[in-house]
Each structure stands twice: as structure tokens, then as C-alpha cells.
Chains A and B, each alone.
Chain A
Amino acid sequence: MSRATPTASDTASVQPVGRPGWLLTPGLVWLLVFMILPVLFMVAVSFWSSGYYGTRPDFTFKSYLRIFQSPLYVGQLLKTLRIGLEATALSLLISYPIAYIISRAKGNAKALLILLLFLPFWASYVVRAFVWLPILGRNGAINSALMSLGVIDQPLDWLLYNEGSVLLGLVYVYTLFMALPIYMSLEKIDPKLIEAATDLGARPFRVFVEVLLPLSMPGVVSGCIMVFLLTMSAYVTPQLLGGPQGIMIGNIIASQFLSSNDWAFGSALSVILVLVVMLLFLAIGRKTKVEQIFTGGG
């Protein structure tokens, strides 16, 4: 029996090698023991009481009540969501073009561009966040340059220690997580599709909007999800660059464990954060099949 060109759907009836049960077991065991169990334990701790003498087992909702009684924590959560969305949008805006450019490059140029994209990632994340201080600071690179050029005579204070600098830092630090999935999904697009569209008379812009963009959507979604999730848990960047206005929920949660010694409350905040993020994720999962996102278009 011969087949023309085997495709994935053709062979759907062929069982791939291996039995799912056996294959899944090692990974599942790891996840259950080292991921799910500790998280469940944290959920349990969120119902305990924390006090001066530490945290002790209990069953009380007081941590959760505290979260919702004041507009403070919900407000911070919403602010973090907002910053997350802004950072994701900004990151998408600057990363898509570069992903496209790299995918259009050929041979050595392409490899070089990919290397150049990866390289900054090798400088530690902490350093990449910290280095914005001598750039944006009152006596930093930008202010020094502007002042020596005579454009301003007082340093610009608003470059640093606000939400904007946190946003800049976050976008900078997580660029790779957006550019890479988009690039990978652009790579999967058969060049013949582009040729066909062009041969049919479509101008480049139309080719982009009607062929490339839809086909690269899985990469876009994947990148957006990753960057959003990463920015939601930002801690070092807001701490170093945020000033009094730029703190995010990650900082508040961290201080519960590091300064206030209020583990139950910190756990409760964490649970709420995780729930919110999970709900968002499920909502997206309803509109686009989650699996499709990660299979690169199916």
C-alpha cells in the first residue's frame, strides 16, 4: 500500500512508538512530588495563622479576609496585571519585527543574528536589570550625555525610579522570550506560501497581514504568554528600578516572607495571584486550543 505524501493526519491511526503510561510516569512523578505537593502545602499554609512566634497550623480565613478588606492588595494585583499587559504589548511590538527580520535572513547572517540575540541573555538577569541604574540615573549615561550636549541643564529625574523604568527594565530583560517563539513559528511557514501569495500579485504588506501574521499567531501567543507570566512574577526589577511607585505584587509577597515573617498571609497572597493567572490562562485556553498554541499551529 503506497501513500502519496504522508502527513501527520494521515498517520493519525498509526500509534507512535511507546506507551503513554510508561512515558509519562517519570515526568509526572517529578511534577507531583516536587511541584504539585509543595504548592498544595502552601495552600494549606495560607489557612494557618502567623503571629509573632511564627506560623502554626490552624484553619482560618483571616489571611484571605485581610486581602479583600482593604483595597490595597487587590489594587496592587490589578496594577501588576496592568504592567504585565503593557510590558507584553511593548515587547511584542519590538520583538516581532526583529523575529521577522531574522527569519528572512540567510545562512551565516541568520546564525550571526541569532547569536547576537542570545548573547545578552548570557549576562545574568540580575545584572541586566541593575545596569539600567547607571544609564538612567541622575548622573548616569543619558543625563550626562544630554547635559554635556547642552540639551538640558538639570538632570532628568523622571528617567528612573518609577513605573516607566520598571517597564523598560522588564521589556529589556524578557525580549528573548518573545522574539524566540515568534521566530520559531515564522520559520515553520513554508516559503512557498509566501511565493504563491506574491505570485498572485499581493504586495508585501498584504502578504504580511494575510499570510504571515495569522500563521505566526501560535508563536505570538506563546511569546505573549511567557512574557506576561514572567512579568507578573517580577521581583528584582521593580525593587531595583521601581522607586516608591513601581513596586509590584511580587515585592509585596516577598516582603511577607522576608521582612514581615507572615507566612500565612504571604501564602494567601500567592494563592490569589496564582488563581488569577490560572483563570486568565484558562480563558485564553478556551479561545485558542492550548495544545495548538504549543504545537505551532497543528
Chain B
Amino acid sequence: MAVSSTSSPPMLQRWQRLNPFELASWLYGLIFFVFLYSPLVMITVLSFNDSRLTGFPLKGFTTKWYEAVLANQPLLSALANSIYVGLASAAIATTLALLMALAFRHEFWGKRIVLYMILTPIILPGIIGGIVLLIFFGYLGVRPSLFTTVLVGHVNWVLPFAFLTLYPRLHKFDRSLEEAAMDLGARTSQVFWEIVFPIVRPSVIATAIFAFSLSFDEFIRTIFTVGSDRTIPVQFYVLIVEELSPELPAMAVIIILLTTVASLLGFAFMRRADRSNPA
């Protein structure tokens, strides 16, 4: 019954040692994931529904929506757009956030003010975030497009999250290594690139991934700043409310599959990398 941090016993023995608490955990986990996944199961079921309507009743099995999706140019462009913007905003936001998180390890005047500034995009309601950019860029005469207005909106949204993810990790960072390096005469840039960065790199990558996911799913700021381009969320929204698109569930499923496959591949690579490169 004691919490054990050693290797777990074989399956059979574990079952025999199951206590109410662990049983409750299993049960709760099950219920939770059923709740989380039922809507996804629903979308999958509907994606095979032979009906022009996204909803019940179920009229028959068909794969025609999937065939339609794969030939759907607007969807593929939207996917490409989402990926490009995601990569760009993740890169920019992670870099800016990393620099600022490093700065926050120091003490300086106005730290609290700067922190609030960084958190502004979270506090600002999403729709306001989009509207302020619409007005702002309108006055500047900047035409709405993917890598101008949309990118700005995405970086704005993602930056505070990147910062919040990085700051705790960096804050805990053991400075004795830096001190040692500087005592040995290393330049600032060397200390950073050869000591600090390699150790925080996993956090930076994790943050970049998180940033990418946030950008990929971002909708409300995007709808005001997108011109004639579309990202995946915008495309889905248009399909839901404007065009009666029976392909929508199939599209959603394909997007989920793509990203799951990407994550699983990454997981597999990571396992291999860990084995060949013991820490």
C-alpha cells in the first residue's frame, strides 16, 4: 500500500494488491477519458454517415466523404497554411519568450509591470485581440494576410503561454554551472549556448511544440485578421456555419489522425534517441 517509487511488480501481483484508492483511480480515469473521447467517437461515426447532414439519424455507411476530402483543395491549403503559420509563430514566440524568461531570472525594476504586459494577450478576450488588430492594421493600411496580420495575432496569443511554460523551468535552473563557466572565463554567449541552452533545450522544444499546438487551434483572432487565406479552424468554422459541408466530420478525423501519427512517430523517435544516447 505504500507509495513505491521502485519498479512496478508484475501485472498479476499488482491486481492482487489493488486497493480501493487505486481502483477508484482506474474507474475515474476511465470515466474521464470516455467523457473526453465520446465527442471524438461521435465525429468519427458521423464521418461515415451516408447523409448530407452532419448529425443523426444514421443513414448508412459510406466512405465517400473521405474520398471527397482528399481531393479538397481548400482543405489542403488550409492545412498547409495552418502548419506554416504554426511553425512561424512557434519559432518567433518561443524565441521572444526564452529571452524574456532569461531576463526574468534577474532582479530589475518594473518586473511586475513587464509581467503584466506579457500576460495581456491572455487577459484580453480573444475576440478583442482580433478586433484591435483589425482596426490597427486597417489604419496602417496593412492588407490582411497570413504572414502579416495573422502571424501577429498568433504570436500575440502564443507568447504568454510560451513564457509561462519556460519561466518556471528556467527559474529552477541551477546557476552554479553558469557561475563555474563564467569563473573559467567563458563569454556570455558561450555560457548561454554551451551551458544554459543545452540543458534547457528540452523545455524549449516542449514550449515550441505547445506554441505550435496553440497556434494550430487558434480561431477567434484569426477570423478577424485573415484575408482571403484560411487556416484549418477558420475553414472548419466556415464549413459549419456557412456552407453545408457533409465532409466536415471526415476532415476533422483526418486532421486528428495526421497529428496523432506525427506525435506517435515523434514518440518512437524519442525512444530510439533515448536508448542510443543515455543521459
* A touches B in complex, CB < 8 A: yes
Q: Which residues of A pack against B, CB within 8 Å?
A: 3, 6, 8, 10-11, 14-20, 23-24, 26-28, 30-32, 34-39, 41-42, 45, 94, 97-98, 101, 104, 106, 111, 113, 115-128, 130-135, 137, 139-141, 144, 172, 175, 184, 191, 194-195, 198-199, 204, 222, 226, 229-230, 232-233, 235-236, 240, 250, 253-254, 257, 263, 266, 270, 273-274, 277-278, 281, 290-291, 294-296
Supposing A34-B156, A41-B132, A41-B135 touch, asked if A281 and B123 sit within 8 A by C-beta, the answer is: yes
**Main DSSP-derived SS at the B contact region:** helix
* Interface presence of B279 (CB below 8 A): no
A8–B106 CA distance with the chains assembled, in angstroms: 12
B240 partner residues in chain A, CB cutoff 8 A: 126-127, 130, 240
From B40, B96, B126, contact of A120 by CB (8 A): B40
Closest partner residue, chain A, to B111 (CB atom): A291
A274–B123 CA distance with the chains assembled, in angstroms: 7
A254 partner residues in chain B, CB cutoff 8 A: 127
Q: Is the CB of B125 within 8 A of A250?
A: yes
A7–B60 CA distance with the chains assembled, in angstroms: 64
Q: Is the CB of A11 within 8 A of B123?
A: no
* Interface presence of B117 (CB below 8 A): yes
**Main DSSP-derived SS at the A contact region:** helix
Q: Is the CB of A18 within 8 A of B188?
A: yes
* Interface presence of B65 (CB below 8 A): no
A104 partner residues in chain B, CB cutoff 8 A: 25
B196 partner residues in chain A, CB cutoff 8 A: 17
Supposing A119-B256, A236-B220 touch, asked if A38 and B133 sit within 8 A by C-beta, the answer is: yes
B33 partner residues in chain A, CB cutoff 8 A: 116
From A14, A27, A175, contact of B36 by CB (8 A): A175
From B103, B119, B237, contact of A126 by CB (8 A): B237
Q: Is the CB of A233 within 8 A of B128?
A: yes
17 pairs, A vs B, C-beta closer than 8 Å: A17-B102, A18-B188, A18-B192, A20-B106, A35-B121, A39-B124, A97-B32, A101-B25, A119-B256, A122-B217, A124-B232, A131-B39, A198-B3, A204-B21, A273-B128, A274-B125, A290-B112
